């Protein structure tokens, strides 16, 4: 997670093909309400997702989903 300036935060991670990456955020860790920020399909490269809300102190989490029928390597 990096601040790219101008109120935009970049969330990045390495990815694997055949995986779905889901990014959620919350503005507080006490009784958090996780909300969907977005997601993308893995390509095997590092991917970035932008949060342009301009909120300082936001928390993020990422989950990885493996579609049914996709074999783990």
User: For residue 69, with 0-12 CB atoms within 10 Å meaning exposed, 13-18 middle and 19 or more buried, which class applies?
Assistant: exposed
Query: Residue 49 in contact with residue 4, Cβ under 8 Å?
Result: no
| Structure-derived torsion over alpha carbons of residues 9, 2, 59, 35, reported in degrees to the nearest 10 | 40
pLDDT beyond 90 at 8: no
Closest Cα partner for 23 from 36, 4, 12? 36
pLDDT in tens, 14-60: 998 888 999 999 999 998 899 999 888 899 999 888 888 877 788 99
pLDDT beyond 80 at 6: no
- pLDDT band for position 68 (cuts 50, 70, 90): confident
């Amino acid at each position: 997670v990096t601040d790219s300036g101008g109120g935009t935060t970049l969330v990045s991670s390495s990815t694997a093909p055949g995986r779905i990456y889901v990014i959620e955020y919350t503005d507080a860790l006490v009784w958090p309400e996780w909300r969907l920020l977005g997601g993308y399909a893995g390509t095997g490269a590092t991917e970035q997702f932008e949060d342009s809300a301009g909120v300082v102190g936001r928390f993020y989490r990422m989950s990885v989903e493996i579609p049914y029928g996709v074999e783990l390597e």
